Amino acid sequence: MKAAIIGVTGYGGGELIRILTDHPVFRIHSVHSSREGMPVTEEYPHLYTIFEDSLEKIDSDKIAAEADIVFLATPSGVSGRLAEAFSGKPIKVIDLSGDLRLNDPGEYESWYGHKAAGSNVLEKAVYGLSEWNRENIRKAEILSNPGCYPTATLLGLGPLADNGLLEPAGIIVDAKSGLSGAGKSLSKATSFTEMNENLKIYKVNEHQHIPEIQQQLARWDKHIRPITFSTHLIPVSRGIMATIYVQLKEEMDTESLVDLYKETYAGHHFVRIRPAGKYPAIKEVCGSNFCDIGMHADRRTGRLTIVSVIDNLMKGAAGQAVQNANLMFGLEENAGLNYVPVYP
Ligand SMILES: NC(=O)C1=CN([C@@H]2O[C@H](COP(=O)(O)OP(=O)(O)OC[C@H]3O[C@@H](n4cnc5c(N)ncnc54)[C@H](OP(=O)(O)O)[C@@H]3O)[C@@H](O)[C@H]2O)C=CC1
Ligand SMILES: CC(=O)N[C@@H](CCC(=O)OP(=O)(O)O)C(=O)O
């Protein structure tokens, strides 16, 4: 199977190269960004002798005629236009950006500040939270890969929301991300001097992933009220931790909750549930496609704390994109994704 990658010089695109150069079925056919003609190794010297192709022009007709799937690892605003260009052509599309995730174009425009993709594309786009939408993903022609924070948050809340166990008001998500989550562009906020030995909150109550999380929670349980969602930068390259606080409709102890999560994710290779009393750290998933989840029900407050960790570039972006591509082509879900986390 031939894969094209647009936005290959970014962090998400680079991670797609890392995965696809070692994939048993997909082979990288062409790579693209706005810098036509440049060898990929100019941007990524770590790929010397491994992948040395040059960037090609973005010609949707040519790409669709030659490749079986195209990954759009481009910024929001750019991806939507590209998805429109590929729509209706004989090629499957996976978009890593937020451009196709929200059903309501008006909501997209108010949170992202760009013009939404056309309704023909939005209506076809399937939301690719792999563990929760497998059947639709298998049939998708255009797939919208979930955001990094939403992946960690939704995998952490799914078993409760889907079973109607959540008290609908008062859900709080306190999330932290490594700096690669912001992409490779230089910015003061993510520079070494700003972030070394530091921790910062940002986009308070206005993060663009809020409506995406809310939209999926409503699919599980339409009674769920608006969540509080806080995002922080931490001085690491990769990794997201979402610490989630919820109240349940009925009291459950930690052991029963762990059993519920284990049952829900049985057969889902990439979600690992920790035993009662154990909590995952981001280092324990970095470099891999795993989402690790731990939890504790606090009898004193009546609240449940859920901790969910992923590598933002893997399960939060390129890893989940390849997991979805595997499903779309009828392959084993974990084909080419059996990475052991890089530790320490
Ligand atoms: N980083 C992460 O952890 C996650 C990222 N995402 C999403 O994935 C997408 C890619 O993210 P990331 O890799 O971090 O971003 P980067 O900023 O690191 O890379 C963006 C890429 O898009 C290319 N690009 C930018 N504008 C254009 C254009 N007009 N035409 C063609 N190519 C263009 C850039 O190439 P060049 O500079 O060579 O033109 C570069 O290859 C984004 O939508 C992001 O929101 C989603 C989940 C997690
Ligand atoms: C650390 C950091 O800055 N993370 C980015 C994630 C951006 C992203 O992945 O954007 P979309 O999923 O919406 O396309 C942020 O918080 O905006």
pLDDT over 90, % of the chain: 100
Say if residue 277 is in the same domain as residue 161.
Answer: yes
76 close to ligand 2 (CB < 6 Angstrom): yes
CB of residue 97 inside a 6 A radius of ligand 2: yes
The answer to the question of residue 321 being in a domain is: no
Q: What is d(CA 339, CA 288) in angstroms, rounded to the nearest whole number?
A: 5
Q: Please check whether residues 156 and 104 belong to one and the same domain.
A: no
For the Cβ of 144 lying below 6 angstroms from any atom of ligand 2, the answer is: no
Are both 179 and 81 inside the same structural domain?
Answer: no
Question: Is the C-alpha dihedral spanning 98, 102, 106, 110 positive or negative?
Answer: negative
Confidence (pTM)? 0.98
Sign (positive or negative) of CA dihedral 253, 309, 264, 279: negative
Among 48, 113, 59, which residue's Cα sits nearest to residue 99? 113
Cα 53 to averaged position of ligand 2 atoms, centre (Å): 28
In angstroms, what is the span from residue 21 Cα to ligand 2's centroid? Answer: 25
CA-wise closest residue to 210 among 169, 160, 163, 172: 172
- How far, in whole angstroms, is CA 71 from its chain's centroid? 13
Query: Is 336 contained in some domain?
Result: no
Let me know if residue 164 belongs to a domain: yes
Q: Contact at 8 Å (CB) between 7 and 184? A: no
Q: Are residues 297 and 262 in the same domain?
A: yes
Residue 20, classed as helix, strand or coil, is helix
The two three-digit tokens of residue 72, written as one number: 């759009």
CATH of the domain at 257: 3.30.360.10
Total of domains in the chain: 2
330 within some domain: no
For 287-296, the pLDDT digits (tens) are 999 999 999 9
Q: Are strands 228-233 and 172-177 parallel, antiparallel or unpaired?
A: parallel
Q: Taking the alpha carbons of 137, 268, 21, 32 in that order, is the dihedral positive or negative?
A: positive
Q: What is the pLDDT of residue 251?
A: 94
Nearest ligand (C-alpha, residue 233)? 2
209 and 292 assigned to the same domain: yes
3-state helix, strand, coil in the chain (%, to 5): 35, 20, 45
Task: Give the pLDDT score at 43.
Answer: 97
For the stretch 203-256, pLDDT in tens is 999 999 999 999 999 999 999 999 999 999 999 999 999 999 999 999 999 999
Q: Would you say residue 325 lies in a domain?
A: no
With 0-12 / 13-18 / 19 or more C-beta atoms within 10 angstroms meaning exposed / middle / buried, residue 1 is middle
Which residue matches tokens 């909150």? 201
- CA 79/CA 117 separation, integer angstroms: 9
Catalytic position from the list 55, 63, 143, 148? 148
Determine the distance separating the centroid of ligand 1 and the alpha carbon of 8, expressed in angstroms.
8
> Does one domain contain both 53 and 168?
no
Nearest partner of 283 among 233, 341, 237, 243, judged by Cα: 341
For residue 164, CA distances in Å to 220, 271, 289, 308 come to: 8, 21, 28, 20
| Nearest ligand to the C-alpha atom of residue 185 | 1
The DSSP secondary-structure symbol of 315 reads I
Establish whether 286 is a catalytic residue.
no
Whether 217 and 277 map to the same domain: the answer is yes
Q: Which ligand 2 atom is the nearest neighbour of the CA of 212?
A: 13
| Predicted local confidence at residue 233, as pLDDT | 98
Domain assignment present for 326: no
Beta-sheet strand order (sheet of 240-247): 200-202, 228-233, 172-177, 240-247, 303-310, 291-298, 271-273
Instruction: Give 74 Cα–ligand 1 centroid separation in angstroms.
Output: 4
Q: Which of 127, 158, 187 is the last residue of a domain?
A: 127
Question: Does the predicted interface ipTM exceed a cut of 0.90?
Answer: yes
22 and 64 within one domain: yes
| C-alpha to C-alpha distance for 23 and 131, rounded to whole angstroms | 21
Residues 160 and 281 placed together within one structural domain of the fold = yes
Answer whether residue 137 is part of any domain. Answer: no
Comparing CA positions, the residue from 118, 48, 79 lying closest to residue 321 is 79
| CB-based burial, 231-245: b 16+ in 10 Å, e otherwise | bebbebebbbbbbbb
CATH of the domain at 9: 3.40.50.720
Does 67 lie in the same domain as 173? no
Domain span at 120:
2-127
Residue ranges of the chain whose pLDDT lies below 50: none
Lookup: tokens for 59 = 């010609």
Statement to judge: residues 160 and 305 lie in one domain = yes
Give Cβ neighbours of residue 148 (< 8 Å, ≥ 6 apart). 177, 181, 240, 310, 312, 316, 317
With residue 158 as reference, give the H or E element that holds it. helix 148-162
Q: Is the CB of 11 under 6 A from ligand 1?
A: yes
Residue 322 lies in a domain: no
Query: In terms of domains, do 74 and 196 share one?
Result: no
